[in-house]
Amino acid sequence: MRPAHATKALDISVGTRVEADGGLTPLVLLVSAVAAIGGFVFGYDIGGGGGSFAMEGFQTQFGWANKSEAVRADEIGWISALLTLGAAAGAAPSGILSDRVGRRPCIITSALIFSIGASLQAFASGSPSASLAQLYVGRLVGGFGVGMLSTTVPVYIAECAPGSWRGSLSMCWQFAIVIGIVVASLANVPLAHWDQGWRVSYGGNVVFALLLALLMVWMPESPRWLGQRGREAALRRTLSRLRSSTLAAEEEATSIEAKAAEEAAGGASSWRGLLRRPLAMRHRMLLGVALQCWQPLAGINAIMFFAPKILLAYFSAEAALWGTLGINVANAAATVVALVGVDRLGRVPLLLASGLLMCVCHLAMVALALSPPSQQLGYAVVSVASLFVASFAFGWGPLPWTVCSEIFPTKYRSKATAVTTATNWLVNTAVGKVFPLLPLATAFAIFAAACFAACATVFFFQPETANLGMEQIDEAFESHRVRRVSAKLWSADRRARIRAEGRRRMRAAAGAAVVAYASEVRAAGGDGAAGVGKGEEKRESIV
């Protein structure tokens, strides 16, 4: 018999609810770290592929010495765009696949597909035209795998994480991406002195993709997917491994089952349902699409992928690679801010601060791009670019993925994240193809305008979801109203009140759970004293 208290919802105001989820466990950390290898694979591709353009071996293999600047720019655009185009194509079916067979098999399949694509790129051979054709095919296939990974991995981590740690653990995807970029950028420096080094830049991540596929075999399935499929025994067994206490696992299992039953009563999910008013799906869907649209329009992939090419206007090939490495290290360091602050400061303040700083950096880059090139100017470009990627890393880098992985109801989550992720990759494709053809000043001006529009979208339309359980986010959207411009989002007093209220609510939730659990034990005629003692110990550890 299930504990009666598990079906009772606590009356906690939106934005301050913290679940008594039992805290973090080693298995949750392991699940997040293993799944995030998919982000490392993608990041390595960004850092490795972009750096190859400055390598003599790559230029020789593809006959760039005999091609005009316009032709080289077009080929670079396609090398970038085909990966993101493939990712857009892979994002859509991954939503259906992960709903039908589970998150874990979908991640394994994605890793294997990417391995095939990266291998095709690494072993491109023959004439320049034949090599380029094989590289293009490999980019498209590898992109398909990346698209599936980027749709499924953030959702899988969010669904396995405890509510109070979901934001920080969801950062693992983006943190792994930036670590992959740094590793590839660091490897590019010595690889540039080897004629075949560019092959490692494109195919070195095959090892990590295969490692991901192998390790996922031993990882648990998403508990929310199990609840959605009605597999109650497997759901409780999985949560008992992921949560630090039996009480926390039982309460969460009951909450998931209740939510699944409520969603099932509304009928099966459909693509049309993504834009209907019930459950505020239209609001959620449009917000998710907007976030994933603004993220690439902020200009990050253009900067990260084309940084070596941009810096060649100011430095030698090797110095350009070192400059790119410095930019990528700044990216990785700033991501730690998001890891620490995403649940403490909230999603909305971080996105606003990140977007405004990026806007300022792009305006500075416009001024630098209009100045005559020199080595001194090159140092300024590296400095401003480092500040830009640092600004991106603590807000608009990880948070669109985090928000889109948590704001949708379980029955719509896979379909909705497939659409939002495909949007990201389609816009990325356009940016990657068009950016090399635009004057730098024009491109950075467009990026600055996009950053400002992104901040406006977040300010007016995004409710705060930090410290909310995934089953309580419905209330946040249903009660959300467009913010007034006079809203004091940056008030220190307001942030202090939110943190204090969050701690108070957590203590209240823990206390209520302990009292209800003890009452259930006594009613069942069990060892009430032992149950109460265990509950009081749990309550003291939380408080």
CA 44 from centroid of its chain's CA atoms: 15
How many angstroms separate the CA atoms of 407 and 471, rounded? 9
Structure tokens at 298: 């902020």
pLDDT band at 380 (very low <50, low <70, confident <90, very high): confident
Residues 375 and 402 occupy one common structural domain:
yes
Q: Is the dihedral of CA 185, 183, 137, 305 positive or negative?
A: negative
> In this structure, what is the dihedral angle of CA atoms 114, 116, 122, 127, given to the nearest 10 degrees?
-130
Helix axes 69-101, 410-434, angle to 10 degrees: 170
- Nearest to 324, CA basis, from 304, 344, 338, 301: 304
Q: Of 173, 207, 223, which one is at a domain's C-terminal end? A: 223
Q: Of 484, 505, 534, which one is at a domain's C-terminal end? A: 484
Q: Does residue 396 contact residue 335 with C-beta atoms inside 8 Å?
A: no
pLDDT score of 19 more than 50: no
What is the residue-averaged pLDDT of the chain?
A: 79
DSSP-H helix ranges across 299-374: 300-311, 317-341, 347-369
Residues 510 and 441 occupy one common structural domain:
no
- 536 in any annotated domain: no
Q: Does residue 462 contact residue 406 with C-beta atoms inside 8 Å?
A: no
- 3-class DSSP string for 36-54: CHHHHHHHHHHHHHHHHCC
How many angstroms separate the CA atoms of 157 and 160, rounded? 5
How many angstroms separate the CA atoms of 74 and 270, rounded? 40
Could you tell me the CATH number of the domain that includes residue 204? 1.20.1250.20
> In this structure, what is the dihedral angle of CA atoms 516, 517, 522, 526, given to the nearest 10 degrees?
170
Q: Does residue 168 contact residue 315 with C-beta atoms inside 8 Å?
A: no
Q: Does residue 542 contact residue 510 with C-beta atoms inside 8 Å?
A: yes
Q: How many Cβ atoms from other residues are within 10 Å of residue 66's Cβ? A: 7
Give the domain range for residue 69.
24-223
Q: Does residue 353 contact residue 203 with C-beta atoms inside 8 Å?
A: no
pTM of the prediction? 0.69
CA 358 from centroid of its chain's CA atoms: 19
In total, how many domains does the chain have?
3
pLDDT for the residue numbered 470: 60
How many angstroms separate the CA atoms of 414 and 430, rounded? 24
Residues 436 and 510 occupy one common structural domain:
no
End-to-end Cα spacing for the chain: 29
Residues 131 and 213 occupy one common structural domain:
yes
pLDDT, tens only, 523-537? 666 544 444 444 444
Residues 321 and 335 occupy one common structural domain:
yes
Q: Does residue 38 contact residue 111 with C-beta atoms inside 8 Å?
A: yes
Residues 201 and 349 occupy one common structural domain:
no
- 466 in any annotated domain: yes
How many angstroms separate the CA atoms of 126 and 403, rounded? 45
Q: Does residue 503 contact residue 16 with C-beta atoms inside 8 Å?
A: no
What's 121's DSSP letter?
A: H
How many angstroms separate the CA atoms of 170 and 397, rounded? 12
Q: How many Cβ atoms from other residues are within 10 Å of residue 44's Cβ? A: 30
Q: Of 174, 197, 223, which one is at a domain's C-terminal end? A: 223
pLDDT score of 499 more than 60: no
Reduced to 3 states (helix: H, G, I; strand: E, B; else coil), residue 24 is coil
- Nearest to 349, CA basis, from 533, 498, 472: 498
Residues 167 and 130 occupy one common structural domain:
yes
Residues 384 and 459 occupy one common structural domain:
yes
- 124 in any annotated domain: yes
- Nearest to 164, CA basis, from 36, 17, 34: 17
pLDDT for the residue numbered 482: 65
- 264 in any annotated domain: no
Residues 474 and 499 occupy one common structural domain:
no
Structure tokens at 481: 């109203």
Arithmetic mean of pLDDT, 64-78: 83
CA 249 from centroid of its chain's CA atoms: 26
pLDDT for the residue numbered 255: 83
- 168 in any annotated domain: yes
Amino acid at 445: A
Lowest-confidence segment of 262-276, 389-403, 429-443 by average pLDDT: 262-276
Q: How many Cβ atoms from other residues are within 10 Å of residue 460's Cβ? A: 13
- 234 in any annotated domain: no
**221 vs 7, which has greater pLDDT?**
221
Q: What angle do CA 229, 233, 236 make, to 5 degrees?
A: 100
Residues 313 and 412 occupy one common structural domain:
yes
pLDDT for the residue numbered 268: 62
How many angstroms separate the CA atoms of 42 and 205, rounded? 8
Arithmetic mean of pLDDT, 139-168: 87
Q: State which of 212-216, 347-351, 369-373 shows the largest mean pLDDT.
A: 212-216
- 346 in any annotated domain: yes
Q: How many Cβ atoms from other residues are within 10 Å of residue 439's Cβ? A: 10
Residues 423 and 351 occupy one common structural domain:
yes
Q: Does residue 202 contact residue 122 with C-beta atoms inside 8 Å?
A: yes
Q: How many Cβ atoms from other residues are within 10 Å of residue 494's Cβ? A: 13
DSSP-H helix ranges across 102-193: 103-122, 128-160, 166-191
How many angstroms separate the CA atoms of 237 and 220, rounded? 10
Arithmetic mean of pLDDT, 328-344: 73
Residues 298 and 196 occupy one common structural domain:
no
pLDDT score of 196 more than 80: yes
- 333 in any annotated domain: yes
